[in-house]
């Protein structure tokens, strides 16, 4: 262990934590930030949401980030100028410094590959359902994105305490491809449970009815469709300008992404803000990034990369595939051919019935062939301007 | 997964234009087959003398007398735009002139194979004595010398090869056996030059590491030469022979062979020994190759360019246990070209760069600099072999696009940012990735770089033993601070405090 001084400091730090918990009651609180500036419903709505969150969920300690608001001085504040850039910057800093473990934001520049998993309230049986995904995008390719959304949706559901989430794929363009891929993952050992549609015949392809009835714990969709669902299920009772129900657009997930940032919209009402804060805290506390990494690793062990590779659009197989002449020992090599042209150069030689193979030894890219063909090789390559 | 660390690196050049002229393979074979060819007639006119070689930017970069970023700003062609100052010594090693090199070969010869003419031996002894690394026990190995007539006779009657300095015969390289093809004067001359250049780098390595020769536990040698006789052609042990002359009394050693992929494999082997605790301080070394001198001189002379392949290259890397401060060689991200993998440039590049990175959750952009073969393009372009480093970086960039790590438009930028200009002599295994280790380790220590990937590839078909491609790669990076320990500590301490508070509470209640 480190030297005495640092151990003592560590003990002091932990003793302080225990005392703080004892004083405030309710065990260790998860510290979560909230962008408290920039809502269409006014900053009061956001702060009411913060207060509601701490009232309904004692494990959450909210830090409001923005200009201190009259009437809400009792909340914990990270004060900034009344400017959205300042608020974003303060949030980033609080996250990196560890002042907060997660954050609920009105907007965030997620890189491609990082998306958020929302949570809605389904009216039929009052059941919650995770919508994978709601903002950002897991991949520019739709089917790959939906496949990754399923994995991230499972991870977020698990981080929120749903141990064996039932997964359904919304009946969109590409749903069958995604479902087949998920079934293949399951066959190769990836643990996943599929939901059953309430419509006759069941199956894991969700229709609108299944969403209203809350037939599954996770509903997979592309992010644009997901975003529409979030708004519909959140604001259908208020005519659309006030999202009253649900837990917001949800925490972020992605390959190698280690920040727990949830999204709400500028039309999210206090109940949704409170729900989002609580969900964010739960994800931060259970270590969502590690859960995402574990899910990805399990899926990768079951062949995720190969399934994704198979989804990639094939370059048009323009050149017809030329057959190589019978192979023979290649005891001569020629250098200096552009590395990106070398496979075409080999095919040009095959077409001229000369056996050749490309390689990359220690003298850069080379084409190898039998020494007796040397003149013909040079002739063919010069004619096709590879040399 | 324990790792090993890089403590120091050394790089030296022996500038030997006369060994090149007489015994570089291309002119040597030409002299046997076309003794009066134009190439042989004109070649001497295109030599680069010591002052020019020691003012040549690529050479200065190799020995650490110039930073790579500065080298890349130098005006081309470098052989025309020489540096204002010649540099004998750099941060990693030196450029040793030919007369001292011949003498040093005699020092490294323990079978009286190198004879020096008396007068030359005497004058060179004084010159060498001023060399900062030539300890007395090393200088003591220099012979007193022989009469010129005896040398003349040995050349005429015993197939010895003359050794030249300033166009004058100042000694000879003798054979080791009348008929054994592995003990001819030529083979032994090649082996002794290889050994001597490796000893030079090992001496610099020990100095650069701030250690003593006795501190070296093991030497792994990784050149492409073979030492042996009729019954065992490649028996070897260059490593131990090199350690002996450098004075590493506590070291043993062995050789690793893999054509140009020798060095990366040797470093992975050394790092594995250290990480496993088998040896503590392992020196990975390799000398250079006389046969490769003037390898492309025919094209250089034809295009009236200086014959730049006039230096025997050598290197050394000291691998030690990781200590949380020195740059780490990551053994959990080794690139391996398997028997089953294909030979195409894309496949070879994929298995050596993308696969190891993916295994540890990294991507192309996480590697600040890739270091594949670093041949000096000023040597290879005129010979029609292209710009080898650039070809490698283009392939890596194309692969990064294919794997969606970068956009197609960023390819050119990627090769500039994550690649570098070649600065190393075409000495086979020498340019094969390892010349960047010194520069990388310094940049990492200075906090200017986080991670570099060292890549070496081999052309196995040259030996006619297999047609397979070959290669290996590893990452050198800033050591990770030991985080996990503290986290575990935290939970344990918390439990201990609650436990003692519980005892305190119980105590208070029972009083």
Q: Which domain holds residue A256?
A: 114-236+252-266+305-311
* A7 within a domain of the structure (yes/no): no
Residue B482 included in any domain: no
CB contact under 8 A, A360 and B458: no
B345 with A361: Cβ contact below 8 A: no
d(CA B394, CA A339): 7
Q: Give CA–CA dist B117/B125, Å, rounded.
A: 12
Q: Mean pLDDT across the stretch B59-75? A: 98
A359 to B459: CB separation less than 8 angstroms, yes or no: yes
Which residues on A lie below 8 Å from B489 (Cβ)? 1, 7, 10
Q: Is the same domain home to A258 and A341?
A: no
The verdict on A122 and A231 lying in the same domain is yes
Q: How confident is the model over A37-63, as a mean pLDDT?
A: 94
* A77 occurs within a structural domain: no
CATH of the domain at A167: 3.40.718.10
Confidence of residue B299 (pLDDT cuts 50, 70, 90): very high
pLDDT tens track for A216-273 = 999 999 999 999 999 999 999 999 999 999 999 999 999 889 999 999 999 999 999 9
> Which candidate from B345, B429, B494 shows the least CB-CB separation from A360?
B345
Residues A258 and A325 in one domain: no
Alpha-carbon distance of A107 to A119, in angstroms, equals: 17
Indicate whether A319 pLDDT > 60: no
Among the listed ranges A329-333, B9-13, B343-347, B482-486, which one has the minimum average pLDDT value? B482-486
pLDDT surpasses 80 at B306: yes
Contact call for residues A53 and A46 (beta carbons, < 8 A): no
B365 at A interface, C-beta within 8 A: no
Closest partner residue to A358 (CB to CB) among B344, B471, B489 is B344
User: Which residue among B486, B493, B498 sits closest to A11, beta carbon to beta carbon?
Assistant: B493
* Of A94-98, B124-128, B224-228, B379-383, minimum mean pLDDT range: A94-98
Chain B hits for A329, Cβ within 8 Å = 467
Q: What is the pLDDT of residue A316?
A: 55
Confidence of residue B22 (pLDDT cuts 50, 70, 90): very high
Residue A315 binned pLDDT confidence (cut-offs 50, 70, 90): low
Q: The CATH number of the domain where A338 resides is what? A: 3.30.70
Does some domain include residue A294? Answer: no
Q: If you count DSSP H runs as helices and E runs as strands, how many of each does chain B have, helices first?
A: 21, 13
Other residues' Cβ atoms within 10 Å of the Cβ of residue A103? 27
In a domain, B485, yes or no: no
Quickly list DSSP for A115-168. Answer: EEEEEEEETTTTEEEEEEEEEE-S-SSHHHHHHHHHHHHHHHHHHTT-SS-EEE
**Secondary structure of residue B262 in the 3-state scheme:** helix
**CB pair distance less than 8 Å for B469 and A368:** no
Averaged confidence pLDDT in chain B: 95
**B393 neighbourhood in chain A, CB within 8 Å:** none
Cα–Cα–Cα angle for A27, A33, A34, rounded to 5 degrees: 125
**pLDDT class for A117, splitting at 50, 70, 90?**
very high
User: Across the interface, do A18 and B494 touch by the CB < 8 Å criterion?
Assistant: yes
Do residues A204 and A339 both lie within one domain?
Answer: no
Contact B391 A358 (CB under 8 A): no
CA distance B24 to B10: 25
Cα atoms found within 13 Å of the Cα of residue B271, Cβ hemisphere only: 27
Same-domain status, A142 and A259? yes
Residue A342 and residue B343: Cα distance in Å, rounded?
A: 12
In a domain, B506, yes or no: no
Which residue in the set B344, B394, B501 is minimally distant from A343, CB to CB? B344
- The DSSP symbol for B78 reads T
| CATH code for position B159 | 3.40.47
DSSP one-letter code for A321: P
Determine whether A47 is an active site residue.
no
Q: What angle (nearest 5°) sits at the alpha carbon of residue B99, between those of residues B97 and B103?
A: 115
pLDDT at B488 exceeding the cut of 60: no
CA distance B107 to chain A (A): 32
CA distance B151 to chain A (A): 39
Q: Band of the pLDDT at A26, cuts 50, 70, 90?
A: low
- Distance to chain A for B388, nearest Cα, Å: 5
B165: preceding bond cis by omega (within 30 degrees): no
Specify whether the backbone of B350 is left (phi greater than 0), alpha (psi in -120 to 50) or beta.
alpha
In a domain, A75, yes or no: no
Cβ proximity of A116 and A257 under 8 Å? no
The larger pLDDT score, comparing residue A75 to residue A12, is at A75
Neighbours of B344 (CB within 10 A): 19
Chain A's closest residue to B497, CA to CA, is: A15
- Best B258, B337, B342, B343 residue to mutate vs chain A (most A CBs within 10 Å): B343
Cβ atoms of residues B259 and B428 within 8 Å? yes
Identify whether B188 is part of a domain. Answer: yes
pLDDT at B483: 56
Nearest Cα residue in chain A from B350: A360
pLDDT at A317 over 80: no
Helices within chain A (DSSP H only): 4-24, 43-56, 84-97, 142-159, 175-187, 208-213, 223-235, 270-285, 288-301, 304-311, 342-351, 374-383
Map residue A304 onto helix, strand or coil.
Answer: helix
Question: Does the pLDDT value for residue A13 go beyond 90?
Answer: no
Number of structural domains chain A divides into = 2
Res. A288: pLDDT tops 60 = yes
The span from the CA of B157 to the CA of B154, in Å, is 5
Average pLDDT over residues A15-36: 83
What's the average model confidence in pLDDT over B458-475?
94
Measured between CB atoms, does B360 come within 8 Å of chain A? no
Indicate yes or no: CB of B497 within 8 angstroms of CB of A256.
no
| Position B486 confidence tier, pLDDT thresholds 50, 70, 90 | low
Q: What is the pLDDT of residues A129-146, one digit of tens each?
A: 999 999 999 998 999 999
**Domain match, A127 and A205 both:** yes
Range of lowest pLDDT (A21-35, B12-26, B311-325)? A21-35
Q: What is the pLDDT of residue B503?
A: 86
Q: Could you tell me if A134 and A261 lie in one domain?
A: yes
Residue B33 has pLDDT above 60, yes or no: yes
For residue A357, which residues of chain B lie inside 8 Å, CB to CB? 343-344
* Cβ contacts of A337 on chain B, cutoff 8 Å: 386
Q: Looking at residue B487, what is its pLDDT?
A: 52
Instruction: Answer whether residue B392 is part of any domain.
Output: yes
Q: With contact defined as beta carbons under 8 Å apart, do A331 and B460 qualify?
A: no
**If you count residue pairs, one on A and one on B, with CB atoms under 8 Å apart, how many are there?**
117
Q: Report the complex ipTM.
A: 0.81
- Contacting residues of A for B495, CB less than 8 Å apart: none
- C-alpha distance from A305 to closest chain B C-alpha (Å): 11
B227, two tokens: 């030492």
Same domain, A207 and A121: yes
**Do residues A262 and A335 share a domain?**
no
- Asked if residue A1 has pLDDT above 90, the reply is no
- Residues B175 and A344: their CA atoms lie apart, in Å, by 49
B281 lies in some domain: yes
Quick check: B485 and A1 CB within 8 A? yes
Residue B462, CB-side half-sphere exposure with 13 Å CA sphere: 13
* Surface-to-core class of residue B159, CB atoms within 10 Å of its CB (0-12 exposed, 13-18 middle, 19+ buried): middle
Q: Does residue B483 lie within any of the structural domains?
A: no
Q: Is residue B508 part of a domain?
A: no
Residue B296 lies in domain = 4-477
- Among A15, A293, A339, whose Cβ lies nearest the Cβ of B391? A339
Residues A262 and A358 in one domain: no
Specify the pLDDT at position B6.
Answer: 98
User: B352 touching A, CB under 8 A?
Assistant: no
Pairwise CB contact (< 8 Å): A329 & B467: yes
Q: Judge whether B394 is closer than 8 Å to chain A, CB to CB.
A: yes
Task: Report the gap between the CA of B285 and the closest CA in chain A (Å).
Answer: 19
End-to-end CA distance of chain B: 52
Chain A residues near any Cβ of chain B (below 8 Å): 1-2, 7, 10-11, 14-15, 17-18, 256, 293, 329-331, 333, 335-340, 342-343, 357-366, 368
Residue A2: is its pLDDT beyond 70?
Answer: no
Contacts A358 to B, Cβ<8 Å: 343-345
Residue A178 placed within a domain: yes
Model pLDDT for residues B207-262, shown as the tens digit of each residue: 999 999 999 999 999 999 999 999 999 999 999 999 999 999 999 999 999 999 99
Question: CA nearest B399: which of B440, B444, B344, B449?
Answer: B344
Q: How many domains does chain B have?
A: 1
Q: From CA B472, how far away is CA B283, in angstroms rounded? A: 19
Task: Give the nearest chain B residue to A255 (CA atoms).
Answer: B361
Region B348-363 average pLDDT = 93
Q: Find which of B354, B388, B401, B462 to mutate to test the A interface (most A CBs within 10 Å of its CB).
A: B388
Give a yes or no: residue A196 inside a domain: yes
Rounded Cα distance between B274 and B286, Å, is: 19
Q: Quick one: closest CA in B to A344, which residue?
A: B344
All residues of chain A having their beta carbon less than 8 Å from the beta carbon of residue B348 are 359-360
- Is the pLDDT at B121 greater than 60? The verdict is yes
Contact list, B456 vs chain A (CB under 8 Å): 362
Structure tokens, A246: 């649900």
The total number of residues written for chain A in this structure? 387
B375–A15 CB contact, under 8 Å: no
The SS3 call for residue A87 is helix
Query: What spatial distance separates the first Cα and last Cα of chain A, rounded to whole Å?
Result: 63
Q: How confident is the model at residue A318 (pLDDT cuts 50, 70, 90)?
A: low
Asked if residue A231 and residue A172 are part of one domain, the reply reads yes
Q: How confident is the model at residue A184 (pLDDT cuts 50, 70, 90)?
A: very high
Q: How far apart are CA B439 and CA B68, in angstroms?
A: 8
By C-alpha distance, which of A103, A29, A39, A100 is closest to A69?
A: A39
């Amino acid at each position: 262990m480190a030297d005495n001084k640092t151990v003592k400091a560590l003990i002091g730090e932990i003793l302080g934590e225990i005392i703080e918990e004892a004083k405030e009651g309710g065990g260790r609180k998860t510290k979560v930030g909230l962008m408290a500036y920039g809502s269409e419903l006014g900053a009061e709505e956001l702060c009411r949401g913060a207060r509601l969150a701490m009232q309904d969920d004692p494990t959450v300690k909210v830090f409001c980030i923005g200009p201190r608001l009259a009437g809400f001085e009792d909340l914990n504040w990270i004060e900034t100028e009344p400017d959205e850039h300042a608020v974003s910057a303060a949030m980033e800093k609080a996250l990196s410094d560890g002042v907060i473990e997660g954050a609920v934001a009105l907007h965030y520049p997620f890189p491609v590959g990082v998306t958020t998993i929302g949570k809605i309230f389904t009216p039929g049986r009052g059941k919650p359902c995770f919508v994978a995904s709601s903002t950002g995008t897991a991949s520019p390719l739709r089917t790959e994105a939906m496949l990754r959304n399923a994995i991230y949706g499972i991870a977020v559901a698990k981080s929120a305490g749903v141990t064996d989430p039932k997964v359904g794929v919304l009946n969109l363009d590409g749903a069958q491809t995604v479902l087949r891929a998920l079934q293949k993952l399951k066959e190769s050992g990836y643990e996943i449970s599929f939901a059953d549609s309430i419509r006759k015949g069941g199956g894991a392809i969700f229709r609108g009815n299944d969403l209203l009835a809350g037939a599954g714990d996770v509903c997979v969709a592309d992010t644009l469709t997901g975003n529409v669902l979030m708004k519909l299920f959140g604001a259908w009772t208020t005519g659309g300008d006030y999202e009253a129900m649900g837990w917001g657009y949800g925490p972020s997930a992605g390959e190698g992404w280690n920040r727990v940032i949830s999204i709400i919209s500028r039309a999210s009402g206090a109940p949704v803000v409170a729900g989002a804060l609580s969900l964010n805290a739960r994800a931060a506390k259970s270590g969502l990034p590690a859960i995402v990494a574990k899910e990805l690793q399990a899926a990768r062990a079951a062949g995720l990369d190969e399934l994704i590779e198979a989804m990639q659009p094939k370059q048009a197989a323009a050149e017809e595939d030329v057959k190589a002449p019978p192979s023979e020992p290649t005891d001569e090599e020629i250098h200096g051919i552009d590395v990106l042209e070398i496979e075409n150069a080999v095919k040009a030689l095959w077409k001229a019935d000369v056996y050749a193979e490309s390689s990359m030894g220690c003298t850069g890219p080379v084409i190898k062939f039998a020494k007796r063909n040397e003149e013909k090789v040079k002739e063919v390559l010069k004619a096709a301007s590879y040399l | 997964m324990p790792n090993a660390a890089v403590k120091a690196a050394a790089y030296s050049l022996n500038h030997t234009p006369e060994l090149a002229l007489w015994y570089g393979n291309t002119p040597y074979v030409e002299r046997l087959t076309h003794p009066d060819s134009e190439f042989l007639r004109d070649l001497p006119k295109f030599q680069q003398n010591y002052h020019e070689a020691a003012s040549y930017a690529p050479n200065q970069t190799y020995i650490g007398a110039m930073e790579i970023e500065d080298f890349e700003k130098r005006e081309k062609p470098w052989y025309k735009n020489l540096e204002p100052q010649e540099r004998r010594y750099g941060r990693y090693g030196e450029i040793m002139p030919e007369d001292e090199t011949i003498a040093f070969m005699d020092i490294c010869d323990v079978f009286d194979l190198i004879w020096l003419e008396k007068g030359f031996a005497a004058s060179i002894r004084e010159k060498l004595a001023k060399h900062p690394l030539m300890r007395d026990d090393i200088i003591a190995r220099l012979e007193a010398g022989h009469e010129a007539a005896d040398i003349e006779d040995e050349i005429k009657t015993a197939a010895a090869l003359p050794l030249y300095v300033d166009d004058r015969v100042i000694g000879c390289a003798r054979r080791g056996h009348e008929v054994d093809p592995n003990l001819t004067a030529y083979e032994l001359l090649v082996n002794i030059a290889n050994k001597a250049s490796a000893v030079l780098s090992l001496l610099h390595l020990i100095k650069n590491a701030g250690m003593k020769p006795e501190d070296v536990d093991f030497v792994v040698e990784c050149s492409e030469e073979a030492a042996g006789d009729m019954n065992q052609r490649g028996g070897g042990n260059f490593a131990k022979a090199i350690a002996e002359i450098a004075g590493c009394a506590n070291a043993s050693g062995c050789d690793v062979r893999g054509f140009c992929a020798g060095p990366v494999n040797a470093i992975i082997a050394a790092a594995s020994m250290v990480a496993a605790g088998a040896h503590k301080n392992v020196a990975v070394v390799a000398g250079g190759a006389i046969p490769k001198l003037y390898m492309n001189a025919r094209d250089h002379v034809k295009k009236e360019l200086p014959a730049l392949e006039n230096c025997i290259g050598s290197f050394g890397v000291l691998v030690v246990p990781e200590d949380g401060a020195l740059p780490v060689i990551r053994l959990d991200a080794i690139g391996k070209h398997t028997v089953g993998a294909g030979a195409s440039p894309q496949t070879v590049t994929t298995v050596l760069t993308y696969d190891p990175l993916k295994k540890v959750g990294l991507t192309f952009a996480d590697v600040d600099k890739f270091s594949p073969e670093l041949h000096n393009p000023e040597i290879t372009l005129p010979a029609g072999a292209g710009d080898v480093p650039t070809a490698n970086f283009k392939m890596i960039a194309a692969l990064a696009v294919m794997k969606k790590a970068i956009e197609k438009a960023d390819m050119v930028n990627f090769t500039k940012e994550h690649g570098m200009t070649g600065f190393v002599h075409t000495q086979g295994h020498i340019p094969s990735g390892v010349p960047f280790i010194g520069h990388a380790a310094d940049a990492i220590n200075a906090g200017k770089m986080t991670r570099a990937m060292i890549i070496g590839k081999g052309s196995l078909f040259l030996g006619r033993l297999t047609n397979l491609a070959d290669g290996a790669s590893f990452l050198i990076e800033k050591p990770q601070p030991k985080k996990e320990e503290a986290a575990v500590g935290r939970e344990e301490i918390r439990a201990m405090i609650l436990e003692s508070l519980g005892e305190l509470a119980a105590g208070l209640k029972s009083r």
